[in-house]
Structure 1
Amino acid sequence: MRDIVLQVNHLAAAYRKNTVLHDVNFTVRAGSLTGIVGPNGAGKSTLIKTLLQLHPALSGEIRFYQTTYQKAKDKIGYVPQRGSVDWDFPTTALDVVTMGLYRKIGWLKWPRAKHKAKAYEALEKMGMADYANRQISQLSGGQQQRVFLARALVQDADMYFMDEPLVGVDAATERAIMAILKELKKAGKTVLVVHHDLQTVSEYFDHVMLLNRTVINYGKTEVVFTKENIAKTYGGNMRWMGEEEQNVVHSVK
């Protein structure tokens, strides 16, 4: 039981009167890198927001580290969808990353030199040190995503939730982000990532959650990520790379 870091039982959530999630059940163990995949409207982003109390739950139980989110939140980092952020806000990349330290600094206190240094180190790790004093509105989409990931890293959390961090980024940024996520896993951190590209699931994640308003299946990628399970999740017609290529999805129509 000690390695269980998240337990969700019978979770449900809705927007207005439309149920988005129903009877969601799963358990996450420490040190796993999980891809959350499913069709558009499956409730992937809503799931993360509900777990982190950014969206109300209709029912169900959520336990982080055998306690409530409020008591465990200092152990949790979050990277929202890039499209949900006001990138025109007048602030620098370094300031954005420093914001990730405010729980440790204190909301009414100014960051000190050691905090700025830690934020700069996180930018450096993401290859963004040269842009530390650049306004975030002047950065490309991929650069903005690197900055937001640096803000999450500087929190030094035990568990990270990331909502589509690879959407709209260039290939180099995608490789850089995945390298960092795999480093986090290697360090014993737990990472859950909303992901859209089925072709890279087997390469990127050791665990996968197939979600379509409820959890269709969840577990080790090599066991769960099969043609049959993906068909249950997505429905419709699928085109595969070939029956002999370990049931890897080529595309979903």
Structure 2
Amino acid sequence: MLPVLSVDGLSASYRKNKVLDDVVFDVSPGTMTSIVGPNGAGKSTLLKTILELHPRLAGKISFFGSSYQKVKSRIGYVPQRGSVDWDFPTNALDVVLMGLYGKIGWLKWPKRSHREKAMEALAEMGMADYASRQISQLSGGQQQRVFLARALVMDADLYFLDEPLAGVDAATERAIMATLNLLKSRGRTVLVVHHDLQTVEDYFDHVLLLNRTVIAHGPTEKTFTESNIYRTYGGTLRWKGAKSG
């Protein structure tokens, strides 16, 4: 089966410091993959480089056997909440409508059908009552739900999320994971930068262990082992949650 994402020999740097080196992996359709690794391992840079938000030094990337520019309408992205200017004067509904600009057109006004679709996505995330609320007035968990609604409204085939569960309350975490599982049940593919190793086995069917390069990648039950985690974190992590092997 053709991978939905294929990364071959990817390298990238920040200020002449290489943060990704010869990254190689394929992602099968309909999977939900956790990307884990220590701070500075290049997890966020990996997503940004794949999505052409950060330049790459070397390597090839293909989506559904094609280039990003040809299929970007099939790809959804939720960035880290800390990287967003939440003081920008816009409300929750307008943020979600941004996910439809590819279909609306940048110089055209949204139609009623577009607004209805955006409201449905907000409702799915439990945020319909906050549609007219300025995003700066929302809590961190509410902001994250709005951004996930924006990704949902795109009706993409492949989703990238950069630490969507970081700093959110338990109810929001459950709502986000329920939504991601719903996407997976519909045959969508999801990649998530994740920080909590305790929940990897519960939340994800695949895991990619990253520390500048891919240490291990595959089904969680076979790949998320103590030895692979030790190799990824260099012995700096004291945690006994993974399987031995």
1:82-121 equivalences in 2 (<5 Å): 82-121=81-120
Cα deviation for residue 221 of structure 1 reads 0.2
Answering whether residue 161 of structure 2 is matched by residue 176 of structure 1, we say: no
The 1:238/1:90 distance shift into structure 2, 3 A limit, reads closer
TM-score (norm 2): 0.98
1:218-253 Cα offsets, whole Å, 9 max, x none, are: 0000000000000000012443447xx7349xxxxx
Per the alignment, residue 28 of structure 1 pairs with 27
1:9-53 Cα offsets, whole Å, 9 max, x none, are: 111000121000001000001000000000000000000000000
Contact 1:210–1:233 (Cα < 8 Å) also in 2:
yes
TM-score (norm 1): 0.94
Residue 77 of structure 2 aligns to which amino acid in structure 1?
A: Y
Residue 124 of structure 1 aligns to which amino acid in structure 2?
A: A
Gaps of 5+ in 2: none
1:32-86 Cα offsets, whole Å, 9 max, x none, are: 0000000000000000000000000000000111111111101100000001111
Q: Secondary structure at the match of 1:97?
A: helix
1:28-177 equivalences in 2 (<5 Å): 28-177=27-176
Per the alignment, residue 229 of structure 2 pairs with 230
Q: Secondary structure at the match of 1:239?
A: coil
Answering whether residue 240 of structure 2 is matched by residue 246 of structure 1, we say: no
1:109-148 Cα offsets, whole Å, 9 max, x none, are: 0001110000000000000011011110100000000000
1:132-178 Cα offsets, whole Å, 9 max, x none, are: 11110100000000000000000000000000000110000001000
- Distance (whole Å) between structure 2 residues aligned to residue 237 and residue 145 of structure 1: 30
Residue 246 of structure 1 aligns to which amino acid in structure 2?
A: K
Percent identity of the aligned residues?
A: 71
Contact 1:33–1:192 (Cα < 8 Å) also in 2:
yes
- Distance (whole Å) between structure 1 residues aligned to residue 112 and residue 93 of structure 2: 12
CA RMSD of aligned residues (A): 1.3
- Distance (whole Å) between structure 2 residues aligned to residue 8 and residue 241 of structure 1: 31
- Distance (whole Å) between structure 1 residues aligned to residue 40 and residue 239 of structure 2: 23
Residue 178 of structure 1 aligns to which amino acid in structure 2?
A: M
Residue 155 of structure 1 aligns to which amino acid in structure 2?
A: M
Contact 2:226–2:240 (Cα < 8 Å) also in 1:
no
Contact 1:75–1:157 (Cα < 8 Å) also in 2:
yes
Contact 1:38–1:212 (Cα < 8 Å) also in 2:
yes
Gaps of 5+ in 1: 249-253
1:190-238 Cα offsets, whole Å, 9 max, x none, are: 0000000000000000000000000000000000000000000001244
- Distance (whole Å) between structure 1 residues aligned to residue 127 and residue 98 of structure 2: 16
- Distance (whole Å) between structure 2 residues aligned to residue 104 and residue 38 of structure 1: 36
Residue 8 of structure 1 aligns to which amino acid in structure 2?
A: V
Per the alignment, residue 251 of structure 1 pairs with none
Contact 2:12–2:21 (Cα < 8 Å) also in 1:
yes
Per the alignment, residue 189 of structure 2 pairs with 190
